[in-house]
Amino acid sequence: MKNTATTEAPASVEPEWVRAEKYFEMTGTPVETIRHYRKKGIWLVGKHLATVQNRLHVNIKEADAWIKEQALCRHRA
């Protein structure tokens, strides 16, 4: 019997959530700025941010959507 199994490389998986330090590496947005957004209610816990085991995480997709929205608002003004 012939082995028909293929050895495909696993698909690259983009994470939805990253630690704030990694988000800083990716975007240049300092962790203190992220904390400021949380404190002022600009970014919402559960939507843009989460704290897991005392570590701050950022939802990349939601943060990016917020940035795009801000850019559109500033462009219209």
pLDDT of 16 over the 70 cut: yes
What is the number of domains present in the chain? 1
Whether 8 maps to a domain, the answer reads: no
Q: What is the pLDDT of residues 19-54, one digit of tens each?
A: 999 999 999 999 999 999 999 999 999 999 999 999
User: Radius of gyration (Cα) for the chain, nearest Å?
Assistant: 18
Q: In this structure, is residue 43 part of a structural domain? A: yes
Residue 34 counted as domain residue: yes
Instruction: Quote the domain boundaries for residue 37.
Output: 17-76
Q: Which tokens belong to 24?
A: 């800083």
Residue 9 lies in a domain: no
Let me know if residue 11 belongs to a domain.
no
Rounded distance between C-alpha atoms, residue 67 and residue 10, angstroms: 31
pLDDT of residue 14: 85
Residue 73 host element (H or E): helix 60-76
Q: Tell me if 70 is assigned to some domain.
A: yes
